[in-house]
Structure 1
Amino acid sequence: MKLLFFVLSFSVAAIGFAQSDKYQTAMTTAIAAMDSAKTTAEKQSAAVNFEHIGNEEKNQWLPFYYAGLCYATIGWTDTSIDKDANAKKVLDLCDKAEAIEKNSEIYVLRNMATLQQLLVDPQSRFRTYGMMASQALSTAKELDPKNPRIYYMEGMSVLGTPEQFGGGKSAAKPILEKAVALFKEEKPKPLYPHWGQQKAEAALAQCR
């Protein structure tokens, strides 16, 4: 009886390890493809791949997060796409990720999507989308005040705001300094978000 129990336990553990290894391999490959993607088509392909992984792994938030990050990146780099439709994809993926785990990284991604909606028509959308973007970062800070991507996004927003409205290089500089300092301290877990440090350093250099 004990032998049977041992065999069954070992079999269940082996299946668990196999599934875990499959997930790790799939995510490592997908992240590498995302990091090397240059064109919109390549980024969309990476997003679809992440969504497939997420649909296979019911308890993992990272695949949906990375799919959203792919689309958010497209929103910044491709001027021909429908920004609102693209941002909705990002926010829908944030909802899927948050249904599994609520965390700071997802709210940074929400900030990115909402900013892209704001930039469609800044004058008419500032009050609504500006407030939503700000609230997303506030929630991100509550969940993890040491997440450097929060301060990178905040610093970039301030940097892009005219000085007469409280923005500009001098206002952005201390925020970006904090982002860079936190990036240097960061030790992300395997597969976890690692983007932003070089961009934060480049933005800080603009402020000096």
Structure 2
Amino acid sequence: MQKLILITIILVSGFTSAQTNYEKGMEKAFALWQDQKIDEAENMFERISNAESKEWLPHYYIAQINSIKSWNIKDDNILKAQLGKAQEHLNSAISLSKENPEILVMQAQVLTNWVAFDGMTYGMKYSGKITELYSKAEKLSPNNPRVMYCKAEWAMNSAKYFGQDTTPYCDAIEKSIKLFTNFKPESSLYPTWGKDRAEQGAKSCKE
């Protein structure tokens, strides 16, 4: 009996240590990112994703970094490399965490990168899919502020493009800010981004 208890303690201790190492690695990657050491942060997330084969978050953040880096890229070879990498890691994240609204939002963001780069080529190809992703994410998590804000932002930009009224989307952006204020992520490692973008969007609505 004592031997069984000892084995259990050892196993639990090992699991706790592994979790702690994972969390420490993630926090270090976040710190590098915050210090604008983007490449170093991305490399850290990659090392974690290789070591922690059951965790979707490192893949998610690699995709997010490559999405952010791609917004103002004009060279299609660089864009394809970065968004290709983002998609590869999103695919890994999806395989580890299906029906995940955070991943659906990031997938929509990556597809929006393509549309922003070349609307004539990619607008027709991805617009419907982006709308579908946000609708699915909303059904899964209607009170997730990133879901509400990003869905409204996409719809607003589409409305502007077609010369339509954007007022309903401004209201949704305002509502998302309140959700950001009260939203509690599942852990300290989960996504929290978006409130500053929502506030900027709300400000633009009033100008």
Do both share a fold (TM > 0.5)? yes
Q: Which amino acid aligns with 2:13?
A: A
Which residue does 1:98 correspond to in 2? 94
Contact 2:152 2:172 in 1 (8 A): yes
Q: Which amino acid aligns with 2:79?
A: K
**Structure 2 counterpart of 1:73, from 65, 68, 71:** 68
C-alpha displacement of 1:67: 1.0
Aligned residues: 203
Percent same amino acid at aligned positions? 25
Which residue does 1:124 correspond to in 2? 121
C-alpha displacement of 1:125: 2.4
Aligned mates of 2:189, 2:119 — CA distance in 1: 35
Indicate yes or no: 2:134 matched with 1:115.
no
CA RMSD in angstroms comes to: 2.0
1:172-202 alpha-carbon deviations (Å, 9 max, x no partner): 3112112212111201121110111011111
Q: Unpaired segments of 5 or more residues in structure 1?
A: none
Which residue does 2:15 correspond to in 1? 16
Q: Unpaired segments of 5 or more residues in structure 2?
A: none
Aligned mates of 1:92, 1:197 — CA distance in 2: 27
C-alpha displacement of 1:155: 2.7
- Give the 3-state SS of the residue equivalent to 1:160 in structure 2: helix
Which residue does 1:144 correspond to in 2? 141
Q: TM-score, normalised by structure 2?
A: 0.89
Which residue does 1:207 correspond to in 2? 205
C-alpha displacement of 1:80: 4.7
1:6-59 alpha-carbon deviations (Å, 9 max, x no partner): 11111111111111111111111112222332xxxx323322211210111121
C-alpha displacement of 1:79: 4.3
**Structure 2 counterpart of 1:48, from 43, 46, 55:** 43
Aligned mates of 1:76, 1:61 — CA distance in 2: 23
